[in-house]
């Protein structure tokens, strides 16, 4: 049987997956080999050895840093993360530099049992430590993105679970460093402005970076978009006053006044009458 390759057979590469990081390391290896070929005079074997030493050291130290970041550092507050990142960046740079010198020495020595570890010249050592700090920043950003993607995945799963059980799915609001559920029944109105929305309850107001239309779709049938900038909870309307020209002024349970558009008033009348 003859196998035919097609791009549709290739699975998409997801951020944070082993395939993603393997591809990233492959790119780093090619980049290091190209840069070393342009900056120093060496044989192809020596260039490949130096590039491999950089990438293997990056892999080993990066895996350790990723574990510490996800397990301990990124779980803490921003105030605690600042000194932790400083210490981790310093440790990462020194360990990476040390591992590179050991790996290069082992590759160019008589074997893994007998070799000499030689430090880089001063300028090269400073440049290597700077690279280590930059690489730590990339690892930290990747770990943070992994954590955020994981949190968003849990939120989507919880929302889908709530929707499958009937009724409006709960919204999740970020409080400090945690995501907490907000019962839609507690919402009085949602006020939108460009890419942001304000979710108003009797006790508090939450600013979220999400468009009003997206929130409206998730809230369910008990909520009506009465204006391009407002979605209201119909069960929290205290009274509705005609204001002429087919519009209404809604007085909500918390005393807030919302002026509807004509289309919004028509939708509200269809719901209430």
Looking at 49-58, 103-112, 255-264, which range is the least confident one?
Answer: 103-112
Q: With respect to residue 83, please indicate whether it lies within any of the assigned structural domains.
A: yes
Do 112 and 178 lie in one domain? The reply is no
Do 26 and 136 lie in one domain? The reply is yes
Residue 271 has pLDDT above 50, yes or no: yes
Do 178 and 256 lie in one domain? The reply is yes
> Which of residues 156, 191, 207 is at a domain's end?
156
Backbone angles phi, psi at 101, to 5 degrees: -65, -40
52-66, 146-160, 163-177, 178-192: range with highest mean pLDDT: 52-66
Q: How confident is the model at residue 7 (pLDDT cuts 50, 70, 90)?
A: very low
Q: How many CB atoms are located within 10 Å of the residue 54 CB?
A: 25
Q: How confident is the model at residue 14 (pLDDT cuts 50, 70, 90)?
A: low
Do 91 and 206 lie in one domain? The reply is no
Q: Tell me the two tokens of residue 226.
A: 């009465």
Q: Tell me the two tokens of residue 118.
A: 């030689």
Q: With respect to residue 166, please indicate whether it lies within any of the assigned structural domains.
A: no
Do 179 and 151 lie in one domain? The reply is no
Question: In total, how many domains does the chain have?
Answer: 2
Do 142 and 252 lie in one domain? The reply is no
Do 87 and 112 lie in one domain? The reply is yes
Residue 11 has pLDDT above 70, yes or no: no
Domain that holds residue 84: 10-156
Which CATH number does the domain housing residue 234 bear? 2.40.50.1020
Do 219 and 188 lie in one domain? The reply is yes
Q: Is the pTM of this model over 0.75?
A: no
Q: With respect to residue 164, please indicate whether it lies within any of the assigned structural domains.
A: no
Q: With respect to residue 41, please indicate whether it lies within any of the assigned structural domains.
A: yes
> Which of residues 101, 123, 156 is at a domain's end?
156
Of the two residues 149 and 253, the one the predictor is more confident about is 253
Q: With respect to residue 163, please indicate whether it lies within any of the assigned structural domains.
A: no
Encode pLDDT of 18-76 as tens digits: 788 888 888 988 888 888 888 877 788 888 888 888 899 999 999 999 999 988 888 77
Q: With respect to residue 57, please indicate whether it lies within any of the assigned structural domains.
A: yes
Do 143 and 36 lie in one domain? The reply is yes
Residue 6: predicted pLDDT: 47
Measured at the CA of 34, the angle between CA 28 and CA 35, to 5 degrees, comes to 85
Q: With respect to residue 202, please indicate whether it lies within any of the assigned structural domains.
A: yes
Do 50 and 118 lie in one domain? The reply is yes
Q: With respect to residue 2, please indicate whether it lies within any of the assigned structural domains.
A: no
Report the run of H or E that residue 179 belongs to, with start and end: strand 178-182
> Which of residues 98, 122, 156 is at a domain's end?
156
- Rounded distance between C-alpha atoms, residue 202 and residue 234, angstroms: 15
Let me know: does 232 contact 260? Beta carbons within 8 Å: no
Residue 111: predicted pLDDT: 64
What residue has token string 């919880």? 158
Encode pLDDT of 69-91 as tens digits: 988 888 777 788 899 999 999 99
């Amino acid at each position: 049987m003859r196998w035919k390759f097609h791009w549709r057979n290739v699975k998409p590469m997801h951020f944070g997956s082993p395939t993603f990081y393997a591809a990233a390391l492959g790119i780093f290896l090619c980049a290091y080999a190209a840069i070393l070929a342009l900056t120093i005079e060496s044989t192809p074997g020596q260039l490949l050895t130096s590039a491999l030493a950089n990438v293997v050291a990056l892999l080993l130290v990066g895996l350790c840093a990723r574990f510490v970041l996800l397990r301990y550092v990124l779980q803490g507050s921003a105030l605690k993360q600042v000194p932790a990142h400083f210490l981790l960046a310093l440790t990462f740079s020194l360990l990476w530099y040390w591992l590179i010198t050991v790996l290069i020495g082992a590759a160019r020595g008589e074997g893994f049992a007998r070799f000499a570890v030689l430090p880089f010249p001063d300028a090269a050592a400073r440049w290597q430590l700077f690279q280590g700090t930059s690489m730590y920043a990339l690892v930290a950003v990747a770990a943070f993105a992994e954590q955020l993607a994981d949190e968003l995945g849990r939120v989507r799963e919880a929302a889908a679970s709530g929707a499958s059980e009937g009724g409006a799915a709960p919204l999740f609001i970020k409080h400090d460093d945690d995501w907490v559920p907000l019962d839609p029944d507690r919402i009085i109105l949602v006020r939108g402005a460009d890419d942001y929305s304000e979710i108003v309850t009797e006790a508090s107001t939450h600013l979220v970076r999400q468009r009003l239309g997206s929130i409206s779709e998730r809230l369910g049938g008990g909520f009506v978009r009465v204006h391009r900038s407002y979605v209201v909870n119909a069960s929290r309307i205290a009274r509705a006053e005609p204001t002429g020209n087919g519009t209404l002024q809604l007085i909500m349970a918390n005393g807030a006044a919302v002026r509807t558009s004509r289309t919004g008033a028509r939708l509200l009348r269809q719901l209430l009458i």
